[in-house]
Amino acid sequence: MTTITQNIARRTLRLVLPLAAALVLGACAAPGGTGSGQNTIQPAHAAPFGTAPFSTAAMLQGAADHPPPLGLAQSGGSLGLRPIIPSGPLLALGNSNASSTTVAVASLEAPRDLWERMRRSFAMPDLETDLVRQHEQWHASRPQNLERMVLRSSKYLFHIVEEVERRGLPMEVALVPFIESAFNPQAVSPVKAAGLWQFMPATGRSFDLMQNAFRDDRRDVLASTNAALDYLERLHRMFGDWQLALAAYNWGNGNVQRAIRANRAAGLGTGYLDLRMPNETRNYVPKLQAIENLIRDPQRLGIALPTIGNHPFFDSVTLERDIDVALVAELAEVSIENFRQLNPAHDKPLIMAAGTPTILLPWDNALLFQQRLRAHQGPWATWTAWRVPEGMSVAQAAQRHDLSEARLREVNDIPRRASQLRAGTTLLVPRQDSHNADVPEHIADGGQILLGRETGSASGAPPSTRQSRITVRAGDTLSALARRHNVSVANLRSWNNLRPNATLRIGQVLLVQQRASAASRAASAPARSGSASSRAAVPRSAQQAAQRSAPATAVRSAQANANQSKVVVR
């Protein structure tokens, strides 16, 4: 019987503990106070209130350690619980009144729009200079220009904000495309920087942004955003300061490091405002600060920001087979122009599932596309990739596929001045019975347009080539070797019978075929570093060679001019 009573007491303790605690505290308002009954139980093990904290945990432990014996219910309550009554005076929990203490509570209300959400996460130190005010006034005096830029950003900004928050970065990072490309994903600078984040070709490759005959991932919204945030995080780890990281994104981390060393040697400060830098970099952070100020307090400058909803603009759809862009646009009920705004990496009529299995569509249209694609009965693709087996003219390649030369040039972006195609060139051509399969991964990722020199021969014979053998070293990859020797990855695989997923071994010997002139240039060129970090060191790497050989003032001027002329940044 005793065991049953003990079990009942333990099980009911959890339910009645809050009520019991309230009753006990009421009974103990004064030293030696009693409960509602006439019986007072003072536990032998209880310490004075001033020496041991009184807590519900203590009550629970006391009840567990001292199960009620038979008959205890008459003096301890109908449930047979043994209360613990403190013997000392009640002490205040702190030195201040509860009414004078203010506790900050996070708002549970969702941000009304994306601007409010961004304002909550701005975290970089503010820059307050005349340059900031100049850029603020520039935007305030051109409201139509600002409105166009904001409307373009509305397609991409929610995704960027999500990624910035997920990584725990300051929200100012999401503003970089405003000053790099004005949120134009098709922006290309004179020095070949491309996309929302304006990646240079070499820097893009070092962050695995594919650039081949079929797509340019520097323009891809998801891939380029991921790479840019990786790069900015790397720069912040390098400098420990976000303003210096942004300066390095624009000017190059090597230049920023040299400027810091020069200032340190001269006993000068090493912050962003202390360094000597080109005008473009000097204006870079002030431009970003001006955009932040416009978002934080647009009324101060009399600006009305177009509203951007705090919700996704697009959704991603995974493809299992090659598909024509025209069919995607038809099934999703979007124009091809709008499709390319969300998928700017694709400027060809075919999407290769092996290379890019994911496309972006407006949120509602994505669901419509998937439903209609499941019900679609016809072919998905009318184009495929074809590798030129031997050197031939553009006209010969077009004739082989029953296509006009003009159309073949248009689809494959073959310049008018080029008339010869080298062996290994990969072209988009109409699907036929002999070419009706989806494009394999090694072609989707490695396709290149290899143009031959103009020749007086009508036969279209390829130019003379020269074979050489190279030895694989530590850190070498197929793509790195292809760049080093000015050949395509697809050709390297073909010449050496390598499978698409083949792994190179240190000491492995590979065959390389080059035109004689290209081979001599490669032989005379200095060796390049094979490390990803050295290739990615500077986002504007086209100016690196000039910076090493030219005087410092000329370098700064040339860099500033190149950067200032790249896109309309406002």
User: Active-site residue numbers?
Assistant: 180
Evaluate whether 544 touches 538 at the Cβ level (below 8 Å): yes
Evaluate whether 185 touches 196 at the Cβ level (below 8 Å): yes
Smallest CA-to-CA distance from 252 within 564, 569, 559, 31 is with 559
CA 172 to chain CA mean position, Å: 14
Give whole-number Cα distances, 11 to 24, 74, 290, 545, in Å.
Answer: 20, 20, 64, 79
First to last CA, the chain: 85
Smallest CA-to-CA distance from 274 within 285, 288, 289, 263 is with 263
Residue 420's DSSP bridge partners are 393, 452
CB atoms within 10 A of CB 200: 24
Evaluate whether 385 touches 432 at the Cβ level (below 8 Å): no
At 69, is the secondary structure helix, strand, or coil?
coil
Evaluate whether 425 touches 459 at the Cβ level (below 8 Å): no
If you search the block for the tokens 């340190």, which residue do you land on?
Answer: 264
At 338, is the secondary structure helix, strand, or coil?
helix
Please classify residue 27 by burial: count the beta carbons closer than 10 Å to its beta carbon, then call 0-12 exposed, 13-18 middle and 19+ buried.
Answer: middle
**Rounded to whole angstroms, how far apart are CA atoms 564 and 191?**
11
Q: Enumerate residues 6+ apart whose C-beta is below 8 A from 4.
A: none
Q: Enumerate residues 6+ apart whose C-beta is below 8 A from 425.
A: 387, 388, 448, 449, 450, 451
Residue 384's DSSP bridge partners are 429
Q: Enumerate residues 6+ apart whose C-beta is below 8 A from 270.
A: 260, 263, 264
Tokens representing residue 474 in the block: 């530590």
Computed on alpha carbons and rounded to an integer, the radius of gyration of the chain in Å comes to 35
Handedness of CA 263, 265, 267, 270 (dihedral sign): positive
At 111, is the secondary structure helix, strand, or coil?
coil
Tokens representing residue 490 in the block: 């697809």
**Rounded to whole angstroms, how far apart are CA atoms 197 and 178?**
9
At 514, is the secondary structure helix, strand, or coil?
strand
Smallest CA-to-CA distance from 495 within 513, 507, 479 is with 513
Q: List Cβ<8 Å contacts ≥24 apart for 145-151.
A: 145/570, 146/294, 146/303, 147/306, 149/178, 149/182, 149/183, 149/570, 150/305, 150/306, 150/308, 151/306
Residue 333's DSSP bridge partners are none
Tokens representing residue 403 in the block: 């296509």
Tokens representing residue 140 in the block: 């305030």
